[in-house]
Structure 1
Amino acid sequence: MTDKRDLLILGGGLVGMMLALAAARKGISSHVVDRADPAELTAEGFDGRASAISTASWNLFTNIGLADRLEPHGCAIASIAVTDQMKPGSIDFTPEPHEGTLGRMFANRELRLALFEAASEEPLIAWHAKSEIMERHRGAHGVSVVLADGTSLHASLMIAAEGRNSPTRDEAGITIAKWDYSHRAIIAGLTHELPHGNVAWEIFYPAGPFALLPMLDRADGKHRSALVWTVGEKDAAGTLKLSDRAFLAEVEKRMGGLFGTIESVGPRSSYPLGFHHTARITGDRLALIGDAAHGIHPIAGQGLNLGLRDVGALVEVLAEGMRLGLDPGDAQLLRKYEQWRGLDAFTVALATDGLTRLFGIPGRAASALRRFGMAGVERIGPLKTFFMDEARGVTGDLPELLRA
């Protein structure tokens, strides 16, 4: 007998698996297909790959029952410091004590461990790891895929959650606007002499932003931060090949002694930076979520949070429709999801692209203008509050699962 489920989620990363779990909490079943080996994604060690989880996104983790499992592994972001080359005229985003934190930092490994553990215990999720998709089919009455081992999986709605290079999106012929920033983000975990004080630093240099993100101390008390350093594509290979000593010297030079001596650096990795946004996020019995629909610069740390807003909206639309007896792949449900998420995601993507270009303008005059503008934001309370609410993800039409 065919195990037909409500959703066929192609991509079992952070966004895809969150969708499966959030849907399951609403009684919606799914197949999740991913080519990766979970054991490799959850291997021991901290390599600097981490995610900022906004207040609204943390509400999603809480509402689907994962907060207690994750809480001990998260480092609170008490404030965000934004500066142009460590010169005067910075912004200090620190909420009032009753407003709580600006978010939490998690090593991606800890997020995956929590998601994979919960998914393996959820009967409404059929998880097909280490699986290659050979064929995709979308028809009038349902969707299906054929795996490399010949297995056929069937559902009512196909979800593309494979990330920036989504083959499902490309196969569907969905138009995409994209450009390359000719920059690369270098990721590494740092241990350092002084505590970070739960402050996330965004230091802008002409070559690109230099972000230091607070992480929990190691078991031996050593202080840790995640580094996201943007360099020009032409300089990336050389920077990655630097010895640990030379790399740490370059990092310390840009940090201006913020955390004292940088004692060690973990494995370095990198990825190219670009912008892309699809003309639409739905098709016939198809919905796009996360980076399959929109890829933005990490300058504001909103990439994953944008995908989790997709998750909340899609689950809410589907749950409401199914309560009324509609099929999950019904065109009117997909239209509602498109209208809800299309504009919000595009607005955030454009704002992020604008910031990237604004802080990338070289020269003393441009730097002075930026610092003048930041000093103005620092003095204007309502404007500062607006930016903090944006960082928390609590603005706009929030899905129910992302509300407190």
Structure 2
Amino acid sequence: MERKNADILIAGGGVAGLTAAAAFGAAGFAVVIVDPAPPVTDAHSDGADLRTTAFLQPAQAFLAKAGIWPRLAGDATPLQIMRIIDAAAHPPVLRDFDASDISDLPFGWNLPNWLLRREIVARLHDLPNVDFRPGTGFAGMVARLDTALVNLTDGTQVNARLVIGADGRASPVRQSLGISATTLRYGQKAVTFAVTHDAPHGNISTEIHRAGGPFTLVPLPDHDGKPCSAVVWMDHGAECLRRAALPPEKFEAEANDRSAWHYGPLKLASKRMVWPIISQIADQITGPRTALVAEAAHVMPPIGAQGLNMSLRDLACLLDLATAKPDDLGAPAMLDSYARQRHPDIRLRVAGIDALNRTSMLGGSTVQDMRARGIAALYGITPVRRTLMQLGLGAG
């Protein structure tokens, strides 16, 4: 049986796992990364993920350190303003949170997930100490005193000092360790798609609230000469499934009504996909020789661009610990430090996004008026507004 020695075995070839491989590889560690499914790196492939990711300032800095950002910068759309609209209020409430209040840089930059995968995979090809094995999955592991022996689905083995589980919300790595997860289900789903519109988006990410969940438009580069945005439309699950099955013209009519015609008429520029909405936290984020990151450790509704940005905070923490004491890679002291630094922050931020999502779901004029007054009040107090923006970027 073939067996390879490595510093790190990463299970999971999504954006988080690929980024982990690039970051640890750039730092000089010998990395093997596996995923049972080859990454989708083309917008027109059947399995293309039509979602986009907004990288906030700390995440962008981490991508630059990993040598990924130079490949992405030319396609990234800056997010200068985060706009919140409560369309259920009478009259509607609109407030803009401008990055210039706290920084010379935008809040972040938006990119399609398929393009992220393509460019990160290209970066991995430049790193001779990274062994990327698409089409091969994690099958099990045995933790020893100094290493973990990992069995792969192709019958080979990797002997690694640290295993990073970046293999999703149903994480086989987490399950192999017997770590459970606490899951909250909202009865919600999200329809994701891209649209063109007449009005320019002005690099503004717009979150429109009514009952059921937010309708979020995130700026993208122009498409066929027209302004373009990615949309995440959250609502009760049955409604999302119904809308996703509508003919395009009927779907566009409902999307226009839900958007309050903020950018004028919306026209579909992609197919539609439906995703379940949950919150989930692993009861532990470490095991023998193992660290859980990204959706293996935490899942939350797509509000405030927190999901993948939290995942990159996991990776940044692990990388700092690994480079500070390379000889302790995967040792109990390193993993204990990772858990102490990350688990409380994960719990706090998941709870915060959970509260925001539940508030957004609520209907009834009294609740909606309270929500609108809350948005106006928080915006109106300058120190509070700035603090909220800094927390959104990951500070504190």
TM-score normalised by length of structure 2 = 0.94
**What per-residue deviation string (whole Å, max 9, x for no partner) do you get for residues 97-152 of structure 1?**
75321111101122111110001221111111011333322222311222333221
Q: Secondary structure at the match of 1:136?
A: strand
Alpha-carbon distance between aligned partners in 1 of 2:271 and 2:142, rounded to the nearest angstrom: 40
Alpha-carbon distance between aligned partners in 1 of 2:69 and 2:176, rounded to the nearest angstrom: 36
Q: Counterpart in 2 of 1:309?
A: 313
Is 1:264 the counterpart of 2:268? The answer is yes
Unmatched runs of 5 consecutive residues or more in structure 2: none
The count of residues paired between Structure 1 and Structure 2 equals: 390
Q: Counterpart in 2 of 1:93?
A: 97
Alpha-carbon distance between aligned partners in 2 of 1:167 and 1:133, rounded to the nearest angstrom: 7
Q: Which amino acid aligns with 2:94?
A: S
The counterpart of 2:165, out of the listed 148, 151, 160, is 160
Compute the displacement of 1:206 (Å).
Answer: 0.7
Unmatched runs of 5 consecutive residues or more in structure 1: 397-404
Distance 1:311 1:251, change over 3 A: same
Aligned residue runs from structure 1 range 54-203, under 5 A: 54-85=56-87, 87=89, 88-96=92-100, 99-203=104-208
Q: Counterpart in 1 of 2:283?
A: 279
RMSD after superposition: 1.7
Aligned residue runs from structure 1 range 28-43, under 5 A: 28-38=29-39, 40-43=40-43
Distance 1:48 1:193, change over 3 A: farther
Higher mean Cα deviation, 284-293 or 41-50? 41-50
Residues 166 and 292 of structure 2 are in contact (CA less than 8 Å); yes or no, is this contact kept in structure 1?
Answer: yes
The counterpart of 1:250, out of the listed 254, 262, 278, is 254
Compute the displacement of 1:216 (Å).
Answer: 1.0
Q: Secondary structure at the match of 2:58?
A: helix
Q: Secondary structure at the match of 2:222?
A: coil
Q: Quick one: percent identity of the two aligned structures? A: 29
The counterpart of 1:52, out of the listed 46, 51, 54, is 54
Q: Which amino acid aligns with 2:191?
A: I
Alpha-carbon distance between aligned partners in 2 of 1:120 and 1:151, rounded to the nearest angstrom: 22
Higher mean Cα deviation, 5-14 or 18-27? 18-27
Alpha-carbon distance between aligned partners in 2 of 1:125 and 1:319, rounded to the nearest angstrom: 17
Distance 1:47 1:249, change over 3 A: farther
Alpha-carbon distance between aligned partners in 1 of 2:51 and 2:301, rounded to the nearest angstrom: 15
Alpha-carbon distance between aligned partners in 2 of 1:135 and 1:101, rounded to the nearest angstrom: 43
Q: Which amino acid aligns with 1:186?
A: V
Residues 157 and 286 of structure 1 are in contact (CA less than 8 Å); yes or no, is this contact kept in structure 2?
Answer: yes
TM-score normalised by length of structure 1 = 0.92
Q: Counterpart in 2 of 1:332?
A: 333
Compute the displacement of 1:23 (Å).
Answer: 1.1
Q: Which amino acid aligns with 1:366?
A: V
Alpha-carbon distance between aligned partners in 2 of 1:148 and 1:71, rounded to the nearest angstrom: 36
Q: Which amino acid aligns with 2:314?
A: D
Q: Secondary structure at the match of 2:106?
A: coil
**What per-residue deviation string (whole Å, max 9, x for no partner) do you get for residues 49-69 of structure 1?**
100110110111122222221
Q: Counterpart in 2 of 1:363?
A: 364
Compute the displacement of 1:47 (Å).
Answer: 6.4
